[in-house]
Amino acid sequence: MAVSAGKPLDAKTAFLRDLELSEEIAKSAAGNADAQAELSYTYNWLQRVNMDLGDTKAALDYGDRCVAIQESLTAADPHDANRRAELAKSYSLMGDLRMSTREFEAAREIYAKCHAIASALVALDSTNFNFKDSLAYAERRTGNAWHEQNALDEARVHFDNAIIAYEQLVAMNVDTNATQRNLATTLRWRGRLGFEASLFEAALPFFERDVQIMQTVYEETPDMDAQDNLNYAYSWLGSTRIKLKQTDEGIQSINQWIDIARQRFDSRPNEESVKSDYLNAIGSMANVLREKQQYNEAIARRNEFIRISSTDASAYDMRGHIYFDMHDWKNAIADYSKAIELDPTDATFWRNRSNTHLQAQELKEAQRDIDEALRRSPDNAESKEISQKIAAARAKP
């Protein structure tokens, strides 16, 4: 039974019925390896369905039971490659659970066990796809764990190893589509290491390969997972090109990101992460257009942002910046006022409106707003500078 394809609660009920039978059989056939293995599989499925249901405690409990049985079976027959492979998979799933609870050191320890088993199995049979796939996964997820702890050098080693392993798997022409997705995901993570270290030139080739692979995958199998991954691929590629001042190429990539993000949002409007991603895509394009002084196009993007997220104070603040650049003080003040209405606690909005009033020579209003900004954030250097400019302007005859 595929948990993700059905209803998790129904699946859990079915597996709990299976569990009663499996435990009874294992108890009556004490010492029977096959009965114990069948019980471990039931625990494994219950672990998975509880992960789908978000019940981490239950998932960890069933995972521990599964691993305990499989460790015992492997110890009893250490030469059984299939049992060792099953244990490696169980370790990887437990590592994923520890990642979800942000227990990164524990996750790394578990992935290390998976890695050790997979490495030994690959040494026995380097042509076995499943063995190499387990090894590649352990490398990638160990890289993820190190990345979460900001240990970028350690993460880089494991991502590089994972890339090599996935490239070898692709060359084996077994389950190519899934392996290409895994390779693309790993390339993206490797690129992120460079991006986060401001090594944008080093990051770019990884994101370019990511997009190339995921574009092909999506054309072959345009499912939701492929669409999501292609979306993320274009977002990182576009952002990196903008950082490198490759503006035209960056705009092209961000437009691709927007197109896919819009498709995702249209089909899944109630998923907050999908909505947030679409807004990020629109906002990124608006920022680039503003920098290029293509103000009308930038405003159009900000209008779309506000249409979707009309209670977001920062959205009005960002559109106000564009009007400010255009010296359209009236509309800039209107947007900053809306931002203040939605969130009067943010000193930035008061400061921005004060500065706009100052530019419009509306000194009384400028003073009122900067006083409020300084009341809310008394040590802000920008507010102090604007206050001094207002005082100088008011001192003029």
Non-local (6+) Cβ contacts of 102 within 8 A are: 148
Has residue 184 been placed in a domain?
Answer: no
Distance CA 38, CA 27 (A): 12
Residues 284 and 213 both lie in one domain:
yes
Q: CA 128, 129, 132: angle at the middle one, nearest 5?
A: 90
**Token code pair at residue 142:** 């160990």
**Amino acid identity of 219?**
E
- What's the confidence (pLDDT) of residue 263? 97
- Please indicate, yes or no, if residue 171 is contained in any of the structural domains: no
Does residue 306 share a domain with residue 237?
A: yes
Same structural domain, 335 and 257: no
- Residue 369 and residue 277 in one domain: no
* Residue 134 covered by a domain: no
Residues 287 and 363 grouped into a single domain: no
Do 332 and 297 lie in one domain? The reply is: no
306 in the same domain as 207: yes
Q: Provide the CA 324 distance to its chain's centre, in angstroms.
A: 33
Q: Is residue 77 part of a domain?
A: no
**Residue 201 sits in the same domain as residue 306:** yes
Confirm whether 245 is domain-assigned. yes
Last residue of some domain: 277, 310, 343? 310
Q: How far is CA 80 from the centre of its chain?
A: 38
CATH number of domain containing 336: 1.25.40.10
- Using CA atoms, how far apart are residues 210 and 206, in angstroms rounded to an integer? 6
Q: Are residues 305 and 332 in the same domain?
A: no
Separation in Å, CA 204 to CA 16, 153, 341, 342 = 48, 18, 41, 39
**Torsion from C-alpha of 5, 187, 238, 229, nearest 10 degrees:** -10
Range of the domain at 344: 328-397
pLDDT (0 to 100) of residue 13 = 79
Whether residues 306 and 202 fall in one domain = yes
- Total domains in the fold of the chain: 2
What is the predicted pLDDT for the residue at 284? 97
The predicted structure's pLDDT at residue 9: 67
Based on the domain organization, do 345 and 291 belong to the same domain?
A: no
Taking 70 as the pLDDT cut, the residues of the chain under it are: 1-7, 9
Whether residue 246 sits in one domain with residue 280: yes
Q: Is residue 294 part of a domain?
A: yes
- Dihedral, CA of residue 101, residue 106, residue 112 and residue 114, to nearest 10: -50
> Is residue 209, in this structure, part of any structural domain at all?
yes
Read off the pLDDT of residues 202-219 as tens digits, 9 standing for 90 and up. 999 999 999 999 999 999
Residues 181/204, Cβ–Cβ less than 8 Å? no
